[in-house]
Amino acid sequence: MEPLMGMGVLALMGAAATIAGTTEDLESDVGSQSNPNSQVQLAPQMMYPHRIYNKAISGEPPSNALICAIGGTVASVLMTAGLSVVFAIAVGALIATAVHGTYAITSYMGRTASQKRFKQPIYLDIIRSHTPVIMGYAFITTFCILVVSYIMVAVLGHPFPLALIAFIWGITVGAIGSSTGDVHYGAEREFQNVEFGSGLNAANSGNIVRKAESGLRNGIDNSWFCAKFGGPVTGLAFGMTVFLSGWVTAVFDPAISITWGWLSVVAGVVLVLLMIIWNRRIEVAAREAYGPYKEDEEVAA
């Protein structure tokens, strides 16, 4: 492929992946999934009933891998039947979304019903208002990941089948979403009642914020807040992963010669070294800006 064309394709993939990452994180914030949901689940047991959607279908990577694999399989079948690519991907994403919506509702009903003894109500208006939002985000995520996967298979000639690539990117986007954006939801949004930057004492577990900017807080309020930082950085992370892992082989194409293949490896290692230095610089800046929590005492040698 022409190098310029390759870069254009990569840019498109990176853009689609960025959107997928953002919506993946916001989907998990509206529905409260993955690790921060442990606090939403714990709150009623600590006598803090709330109006936050409580869905933890599974960890984010398996749940996203499921919807992406369903979407990829349906899209593959429809494309084999001769339907257009855009139609096949859209219908694949739609069916995956329907499955996801079913899981979300049963998960909310089941989890909340099991907390009856802690006087946690099941709010039907929360199901009606939140489930379409969850499904909407899941649709965008699945659609964008199918676009990335389809481009990899059809344009870049990746040997893996479409459904498997979609599955793998589903695992990856879930792993990234639960590692990055969820921290903003779990460590900041759920605990805005403690001072910013004071750290979260384990004794505060379960004492999540239940009052919103107006009225009682629900999952949509959480996604409004996380859309300002947690969601976009998750998109940045997934977009960078898809873009950079493809960029090294697009610039130094191993198909030309084995030397170019090794150059792509070197380029990847250089990128990683740069990120190690970047992380160190942020660490130093944070230590200087925030300072230590305790007074210096001599540590035992």
Partner 1 sequence: MIDIAGILAENILYIVMVTLGGMLISWSVHFVPVGGAPAAMAQATGIGTGTVQLAAGAGLTGLVTAGAVMNVSDSFALVVASGAVGAMIMIAVTMIVGTLVYVYGVGVPPASAKVDYDPITKDRQDLYVSQGTEGHGLPTVSYVSGVIGGALGGIGGATIYYSLMNTSTGLSQSDLVALASIFAVGIFFVNAVIPSYNIGGTIEGFHDPKFKKWPKAVFASFVATLMCAFVGVLAIGGL
Q: Which is nearer to partner 1, 86 or 269 (CB)?
A: 269
User: Could you tell me the smallest distance in angstroms from the CB atom of residue 129 to partner 1?
Assistant: 25
Please state the closest distance from residue 133 (CB atom) to partner 1, in A: 22
Residue among 59 and 136 whose Cβ is closer to partner 1: 59
Residue with smaller CB distance to partner 1, 125 or 296: 296
**C-alpha span between 122 and 86 (Å, rounded):** 39
| Closest to 263 measured CA to CA, from 275, 250, 252, 276 | 252
Nearest CA to 181 out of 64, 278, 13 is that of: 64
Asked if 91 and 75 touch (Cβ cutoff 8 Å), the reply is yes
Burial (0-12, 13-18, 19+ Cβ within 10 Å), 258: exposed
Closest distance between partner 1 and the C-beta of residue 128, in Å? 28
Based on CB atoms, which residue is closest to partner 1, 38 or 129?
38
CB nearer partner 1, residue 78 or residue 165 = 165
In the bound complex, what is the minimum distance in angstroms from residue 197's beta carbon to partner 1? 3
The two structure tokens encoding residue 45: 């047991």
* Closest approach of partner 1 to the CB of residue 90, in Å: 24
Name which of 87 and 262 has its Cβ closer to partner 1. 262
Longest dimension (CA), the chain: 73
In contact, 3 and 255? CB cutoff 8 Å: no
Q: C-beta of 131: minimal distance to partner 1 in Å? A: 24
Which string of DSSP letters, residue by residue, matches 214-233?
A: SSB--HHHHHHHHTTTHHHH
> What's the rounded Cα separation, in Å, for the pair 1 and 16?
21
CB–CB of 208/190 below 8 Å?
Answer: yes
**Distance in Å, CB of 256 to partner 1, minimum:** 9
Using the 8-state DSSP alphabet, how is residue 202 labeled?
Answer: G
Name residues whose C-beta falls within 8 Å of residue 25's C-beta, 6 or more positions apart in sequence.
177, 180, 181, 182, 226, 230, 231, 234, 235
Nearest to partner 1 of 146, 171 (CB atom): 171
